[in-house]
């Protein structure tokens, strides 16, 4: 609460300023029509007392006057007995110009509004902050100040007339200091249509809403929307940082991101926040060098946990009673400190051994779990390969290429790998390496003459399950054809055109045979995680096969039309990644949160073991899980809510561990604040998962529409917050934090799982992309939705190699066709592949250097390439192109390879295969690149500017 006070002394000063309010022209340095400056913005936080619905405040008139900005949350106070005084105050101003700035607070020193130390957990029951505040001083000056606002806004209070009376006078208590503080920024909406964002001294005050002029100029048909002015996430995913500054002990956002870093305090607030409310968790996210999660061994004391709610000890617990007790931050239960863990408290109430206790200062820690946390002794990691050897698999070369990989693995991950032998025995790799190698060598030849087109997938899966059920582990399935024999056989159902657009459409995206769901459940039960590698160019029913991965915490790798010559490299890298990345075995994950809120739904690749326990037989750094929360109580009384993610798992070294991430977030009473603290990345991640789930129960179109509706509703709600005191006209307004929401929404519309209809994407591809996106961490998802497009020819042509030049060239361009200059060379990178685009006029030098003389000549003869229609030819062409892109002995080629390597290193979860495409080369160019320029209008889809206009139109239709 401390920070409130600095602002307080200003109140008595108001009377001296009030005269100005009645004589606007004289005070107009801060005229509303001028550029909004810092002090000006502060005008609109006239009545902090109104926020302090603290009953102890004897200041009825103030509280009855809604402050500017967001009146809704301040209603709790009106019903004070003395509210009778208020009406006279309120009455006169009704007719006043709504934009009259209450000049009285001009002098409020902006710096005092910055949230400072109170970011740390504030002890409960902070003293009523108004004690030293003379109530009388607030009464008199108020009317002119707030009149302009109260006059225009009484209708907003209507819906909640009886609301405040529901709260017991004491329980509402002093509002959270943090929330109140944030509220200050919320007040600065004095920006007027057309005015530039305030450039005042206080940077936080500039956090205003942003706006876009959408209306067309009267009389013309040109939309006034300037394509260049539209917001674009060209810096990639930017995590809101203010939040981390506020709670420095929170875990890093790469582990846990909330969709809004301001938790609403009431259900009515939740219902007006139309975006998903929840979190995206990536418990094992890769930490950069030096920021690894510390491991702690509590061998003597046992892991310190709250006795009531089982929360793990974390930086936000408070020690009391001279260090003998600690209070759980989640349930407020007072626990005893075990003898061995005891430490004295210093004068400020901090433990003296704080710096030796990482669990008390870091948001992410790892505890070594004793035997109570094991159902059974840790099992050795087990990898089981289930390989389809039907003729199509042999023909594509899949067997050959995939199986050279385990031999490589022998080198990198020696002791623990198991590989099956044909007689269904598991062997220890280090003991029988030779046998395995011989087997692997002989496998391709063994099935060389196989002409069997059938695939007995189900029985093989059952056999694998039986072998593995003792140990658990990871099952890698290499499937090249539709399972056609025995249990779990599937029909060719994907090519049925008539089903599309009907109510039965979604059934195609669901597993056909209940066998797969049942099998997935059984696999999870026995701690077996499944990864599917699918290769076929024909329909393989990924929807059914992928189910196995979905409910066992695995993922689906899909290589349509696999040819070992082309995709072999990709497969071997991704398989290597799959086998070598840090994997957590037999894991369960739970997320706890404070009283009054509850996580109600979970979205991602896992299976729920109980209402809030995620079972994850194998989990790694490339998997993220999203969850939505809801309020259980109508009103939250705490100031801060805490979240704690706990992942109990067996590390590959055989140690049982618990990884704990803790985060705190303030509770707010202000809808505007929720919007301002929103995290677009997490919202988009949740949106994508919800939309993909929706495609499993309804039509694609319905999924898209419901997504659009939510975006529109959210923007409309936000607009309503401001539409009264600002003439917004046809401008589109949105909080700065959500400036990319529309664009990502559009990108989702055009993403593989959601776009178009039957003809736009092959069913298998759609399903595979859906499974992939359900597991992607936020950063990678955003990159997939809005890939980077980088121009590199200048860098390649630069005379001298500058090491630092690399950063400079990584300038992302908007994804529009205009970004492509026919004299340039571009890399398009969506995290899954590279497309290297050669402009038509690119200097032949570059082509020659990069591709070698033979191919450059080929490339220049455009007609040959254009003539390619047949898919097989196209594939061969692809193969040739990829072979061509090897390092040549010249500087330019080396540099290109360096760029590719750098880009790959920045995103190692998938191996990006380069595809070369030349401008004007159809249909390749269209398929590979143009269709992915999501801001462009392509075959029936909307362009970015049109999309914004469309959204804006819907926002305005109330």
Partner 1 sequence: MAWDLIFWVLCFFINIALLASSFYQLLSLSDLEADHLNPFEATTRINSIVLPDFLLQAFLCLSFLLTWHWFMFLFTLPITAYHLMLYLNRKHLLDVTEIFRDLNTEKKYRFVKLAVYLLLFTVVLFRLLSASIFFFFAWKFEELDIRTSLFY
Q: CB-wise, 566 or 614, nearer to partner 1?
A: 614
User: Taking a C-beta distance cutoff of 8 angstroms, is the pair 560, 765 a contact?
Assistant: yes
> Least distance to partner 1 from the beta carbon of 258, Å?
22
Helix (H) or strand (E) holding 235: none
We find the least distance from the C-beta atom of residue 590 to partner 1, in angstroms, to be: 11
Q: Which stretch binds partner 1 (CB under 8 A): 273-281, 532-540, 603-611, 673-681?
A: 603-611
Alpha helices in 457-513 (DSSP H): 457-468
Site residue total, partner 1 (CB under 8 A) = 16
453 binds partner 1 (CB under 8 A): no
Smallest distance, partner 1 to C-beta of residue 475, A: 17
Cα–Cα distance between 383 and 580 in angstroms, integer?
11
Q: Where are the alpha helices (DSSP H) in 843-943?
A: 844-860, 862-866, 871-884, 891-906, 924-928
Cα 506 to Cα 766: distance, rounded to the nearest angstrom = 12
Considering only the stretches 331-339, 610-618, 663-671, 950-958, report the one whose residues sit in contact with partner 1 under the rule CB under 8 A. 610-618
In the complex, least distance from residue 820 CB atom to partner 1, rounded to whole angstroms: 44
**Which is nearer to partner 1, 300 or 610 (by Cβ)?**
610
Q: Which two tokens stand for residue 44?
A: 């609109």
Helices (H), 193-238: none
Interaction between residue 601 and partner 1 (CB under 8 A): yes
- Burial grade of 821 (CB within 10 A; 0-12, 13-18, 19 or more): middle
Confirm or reject binding of residue 158 to partner 1 (CB under 8 A).
Answer: no
Q: Would you say 514 or 939 has its CB closer to partner 1?
A: 514
Task: Give least dist CB 489 to partner 1, A.
Answer: 17
Closest approach, Cβ 636 to partner 1, in A, equals 23
Which of residues 210 and 601 has its CB atom nearest to partner 1 in the complex? 601
Closer CB to partner 1, residue 319 or residue 515?
515
> Are the CB atoms for 781 and 748 separated by under 8 Å?
no
Residue 1 or 520: the one with the smaller Cβ distance to partner 1 is 520
Smallest distance from partner 1 to CB 612, Å: 9
- The residue to which tokens 């900005």 are assigned: 69
- How far apart (Å, rounded) are the C-alpha atoms in residues 281 and 644? 10
Q: Which two tokens stand for residue 804?
A: 């630092």
Q: What does the per-residue mask of binding to partner 1 show for 546-575, with x meaning CB under 8 A?
A: -x---x------------------------
Q: Which of 155, 348, 434, 611 binds partner 1 (CB under 8 A)?
A: 611
Residue 559 phi, psi dihedral angles, 5° rounding: -120, 85
Binding mask 511-550 for partner 1 (x = CB under 8 A): ---x--xx-xxx--x---------------------x---
Q: Which stretch binds partner 1 (CB under 8 A): 142-150, 418-426, 606-614, 802-810?
A: 606-614
Task: Select 577 or 590, whichever has its Cβ closest to partner 1.
Answer: 590
Nearer residue to partner 1 within complex by CB, 550 or 918: 550
Q: How far is the CB of 523 from partner 1 (least distance, A)?
A: 11
- Tell me the C-alpha distance between 665 and 182, whole Å: 12
Dihedral angle sign, alpha carbons of residues 764, 766, 769, 774 = negative
Out of 28, 590, 609, 739, the residue judged to bind partner 1 by CB under 8 A: 609
* Residue 955: C-alpha distances to residues 705, 723, 933 (Å): 14, 12, 26
List C-alpha distances in Å: 313 to 302, 306, 316, 330. 11, 7, 8, 10
**What are the distances in angstroms from CA 31 to CA 24, 104, 191?**
8, 13, 11
Among 199, 374, 492, 608, contact with partner 1 (rule: CB under 8 A): 608
546/509 Cα distance (integer angstroms): 10
Q: Between 112 and 547, whose beta carbon lies closer to partner 1?
A: 547
Query: Could you tell me if 374 and 435 are in contact, meaning their C-beta atoms sit under 8 angstroms apart?
Result: no
In the complex with partner 1, the residue whose CB is nearer, 468 or 520, is 520
CB of 545 or CB of 856, closer to partner 1: 545
Pick the closer one to partner 1 by CB: 295 or 696.
696
558-584 in b/e form (b: 16+ CB < 10 A) is bbbbbbbbbbbebbbbbbbbbbeeebb
In angstroms, what is the minimal distance from the CB of 303 to partner 1? 21
CB of 295 to partner 1, least distance (A): 29
Report DSSP state, residue 168: -
Nearer to partner 1 by Cβ, of 517 and 577: the residue is 517
Binding mask 41-60 for partner 1 (x = CB under 8 A): --------------------
**Residue with the two structure tokens 């290109």:** 896
Q: Which is nearer to partner 1, 605 or 942 (CB)?
A: 605
> Which tokens is 770 given?
């859906």
Residue 300 within binding range of partner 1, rule CB under 8 A:
no
Q: Whole-angstrom Cα distance, residue 605 to residue 775? A: 6
Task: Please choose, from the candidates 341, 355, 330, the residue with its C-alpha nearest in 3D space to the C-alpha of residue 302.
Answer: 341
Over the range 307-325, which residues count as b (16 or more CB within 10 Å of their CB) and which as e?
Answer: eeeebbbbbbbbbeeebee
Contacting range for partner 1; rule: CB under 8 A; set: 61-69, 166-174, 608-616, 861-869: 608-616
Beta carbon of residue 310, minimum distance to partner 1 (angstroms, whole number): 13
Task: Please name the residues in contact with 854: beta carbons below 8 A apart, sequence gap of 6 or more.
Answer: 884
Q: Of 187 and 550, which has the nearer Cβ to partner 1? A: 550
Least distance to partner 1, CB of residue 754, Å: 21
In the complex, what is the shortest distance from the CB of residue 742 to partner 1, in angstroms, rounded to a whole number? Answer: 29
Are the C-beta atoms of 570 and 911 separated by less than 8 Å?
Answer: yes
Q: For partner 1, give the closer residue by CB, 526 or 806.
A: 526
Task: Tokens for 535, please give them.
Answer: 């290769």
Stretch of residues binding partner 1 (CB under 8 A), selected from 135-143, 157-165, 329-337, 510-518 = 510-518
607 touches partner 1 (CB under 8 A): yes
Query: Which range binds partner 1 by CB under 8 A, 31-39, 609-617, 732-740, 793-801?
Result: 609-617
Longest distance between any two alpha carbons in the chain, whole Å: 98
DSSP secondary-structure letter at 114?
Answer: S
Output the smallest distance, CB 522 to partner 1, in A.
8
What residues are paired with 915 via a beta bridge? 835
Q: Which residues, 418 to 447, sit near partner 1 by CB under 8 A?
A: none
Find tokens 């075990």 and name the residue. Answer: 338
Q: Residue 274 or residue 525: which is nearer to partner 1 going by CB?
A: 525
∠83-86-91 over CA atoms, to 5°?
A: 145
CA 222 to centroid of chain Cα atoms: 35
Residue 610 binding partner 1, by CB under 8 A = yes
Determine the interface stretch with partner 1 among 86-94, 206-214, 326-334, 604-612 (rule: CB under 8 A).
604-612
β-sheet bridge partners, residue 628: 278, 601
Residue 416's closest CA among 489, 370, 473, 491?
473
Which is nearer to partner 1, 434 or 611 (by Cβ)?
611
Angle made by CA atoms 259, 197, 228, in degrees to the nearest 5: 80
CA distances from 567 to 357, 447, 560, 564 (A): 49, 21, 9, 5
Establish if 800 lies at the interface with partner 1 (CB under 8 A).
no
Residues within the interface to partner 1 (CB under 8 A): 514, 517-518, 520-522, 525, 547, 551, 601, 607-611, 613
């Amino acid at each position: 609460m401390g920070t409130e006070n600095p602002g307080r002394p200003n109140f008595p000063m108001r009377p001296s300023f009030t005269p100005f309010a009645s004589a606007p022209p004289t005070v107009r340095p801060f005229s509303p029509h001028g550029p909004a400056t810092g002090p000006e913005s502060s005008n609109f936080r006239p009545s902090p007392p109104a926020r302090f619905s603290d009953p102890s405040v004897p200041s009825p008139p103030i509280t009855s006057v809604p402050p500017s900005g967001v009146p809704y949350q301040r209603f709790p106070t009106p019903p004070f007995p003395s509210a009778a005084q208020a009406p006279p105050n309120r009455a006169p101003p009704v007719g006043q110009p709504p934009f009259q700035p209450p000049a009285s607070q001009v002098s409020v020193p902006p710096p005092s509004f910055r949230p400072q130390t109170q970011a740390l957990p504030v002890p409960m029951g902070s003293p009523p902050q108004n004690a030293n505040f003379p109530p009388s001083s607030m009464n008199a000056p108020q009317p002119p100040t707030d009149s302009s606002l109260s006059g225009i806004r009484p209708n907003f209070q209507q819906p909640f007339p009886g609301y405040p009376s529901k709260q017991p006078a004491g329980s509402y208590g002093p509002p959270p200091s943090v929330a109140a503080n944030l509220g200050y920024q919320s007040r600065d909406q004095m920006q007027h249509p057309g005015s530039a964002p305030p450039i005042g001294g206080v940077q936080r005050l500039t956090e205003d809403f942003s706006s876009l002029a959408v209306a067309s100029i009267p009389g013309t048909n040109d939309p006034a929307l300037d394509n260049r002015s539209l917001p674009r996430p060209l810096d990639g995913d930017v995590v809101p940082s203010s939040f981390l500054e506020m709670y420095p002990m929170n875990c890093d956002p790469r582990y846990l991101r909330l969709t809004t870093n301001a938790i609403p305090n009431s259900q009515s607030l939740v219902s007006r926040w139309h975006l998903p409310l929840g979190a995206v968790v990536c418990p094992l996210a890769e930490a950069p060098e030096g920021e690894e999660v510390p491991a702690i061994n509590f061998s003597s004391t046992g892991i310190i946990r709250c006795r009531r709610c089982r929360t793990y000890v974390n930086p936000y617990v408070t020690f009391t009673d001279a260090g003998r007790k600690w209070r759980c931050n989640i349930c407020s239960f007072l626990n005893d400190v075990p003898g061995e863990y005891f430490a004295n408290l210093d004068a400020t109430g901090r433990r003296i051994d704080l710096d030796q206790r990482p669990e008390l200062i870091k948001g992410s820690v790892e505890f070594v779990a004793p035997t109570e946390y094991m159902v059974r002794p840790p099992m050795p990691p087990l990898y089981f390969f289930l390989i389809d050897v039907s003729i199509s698999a042999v023909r594509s070369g899949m067997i050959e290429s995939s199986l050279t990989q385990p031999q490589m693995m022998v080198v990198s991950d020696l002791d623990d790998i198991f590989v099956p032998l044909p007689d269904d025995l598991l062997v220890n790799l280090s003991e029988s390496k030779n046998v395995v190698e011989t087997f692997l060598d002989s496998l391709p030849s063994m099935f060389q003459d196989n002409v069997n087109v059938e695939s007995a997938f189900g029985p093989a899966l059952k056999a694998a399950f039986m072998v593995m059920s003792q140990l658990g582990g990871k099952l890698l399935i290499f499937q090249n054809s539709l399972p056609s024999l025995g249990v779990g056989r599937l029909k060719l159902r994907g090519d049925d055109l008539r089903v599309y657009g009907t109510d039965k459409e979604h059934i195609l995206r669901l597993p056909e045979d209940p066998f797969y769901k049942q099998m997935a459940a059984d696999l999870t039960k026995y701690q077996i995680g499944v990864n599917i590698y699918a290769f076929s160019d024909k329909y393989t029913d990924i929807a059914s096969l992928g189910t196995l991965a979905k409910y066992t915490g695995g993922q689906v790798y899909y290589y349509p039309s696999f040819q070992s010559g082309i995709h072999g490299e990709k497969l071997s890298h991704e398989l290597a990644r799959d086998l070598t990345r840090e994997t957590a075995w037999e894991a369960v994950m739970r997320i706890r949160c404070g009283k009054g809120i509850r996580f109600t739904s979970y979205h991602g690749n896992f299976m729920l073991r109980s209402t809030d326990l995620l079972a994850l037989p194998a989990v790694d750094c490339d998997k993220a899980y999203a969850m939505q929360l809801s309020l259980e109580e109508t009103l939250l009384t705490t100031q801060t809510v805490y979240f704690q993610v706990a992942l109990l798992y067996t590390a590959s070294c055989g140690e049982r561990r618990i990884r704990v991430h803790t985060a705190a977030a303030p509770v707010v009473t202000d809808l505007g604040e929720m919007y301002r603290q929103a995290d677009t990345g997490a919202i988009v991640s949740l949106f994508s998962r919800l939309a993909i789930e929706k495609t499993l129960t309804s039509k694609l179109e319905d999924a898209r529409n419901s997504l659009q509706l939510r975006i529109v509703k959210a923007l409309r709600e936000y607009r309503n917050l401001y539409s009264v005191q600002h003439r917004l006209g046809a401008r589109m307004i949105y909080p700065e934090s959500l400036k990319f929401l529309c664009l990502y929404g559009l990108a989702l519309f055009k993403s593989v799982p959601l776009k178009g209809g039957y003809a736009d994407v092959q069913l298998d591809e759609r399903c595979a992309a859906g499974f992939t996106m359900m597991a992607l961490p936020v950063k990678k998802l955003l990159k997939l939705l809005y890939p980077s497009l980088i121009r590199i020819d200048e860098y390649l042509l630069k005379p001298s190699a500058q090491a630092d030049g690399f950063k400079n060239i990584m300038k992302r361009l908007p994804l529009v066709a205009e970004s492509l200059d026919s004299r340039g060379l571009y890399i398009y990178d969506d995290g899954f592949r590279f497309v290297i685009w050669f402009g038509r006029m690119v200097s032949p030098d570059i082509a020659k250097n990069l591709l070698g003389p033979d191919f450059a000549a080929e490339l220049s003869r455009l007609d040959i390439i254009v003539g390619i229609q047949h898919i097989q030819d196209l594939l061969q062409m692809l193969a040739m192109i990829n072979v061509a892109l090897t390092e040549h002995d010249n500087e330019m080629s080396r540099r290109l390879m360096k760029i590719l390597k750098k880009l790959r290193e920045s995103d190692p979860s998938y191996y990006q295969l380069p595809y070369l495409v030349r401008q004007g080369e159809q249909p390749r160019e269209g398929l590979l690149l143009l269709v992915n320029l999501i801001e462009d209008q392509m075959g029936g889809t909307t362009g970015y500017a049109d999309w914004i206009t469309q959204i804006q139109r819907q926002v305005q239709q109330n």
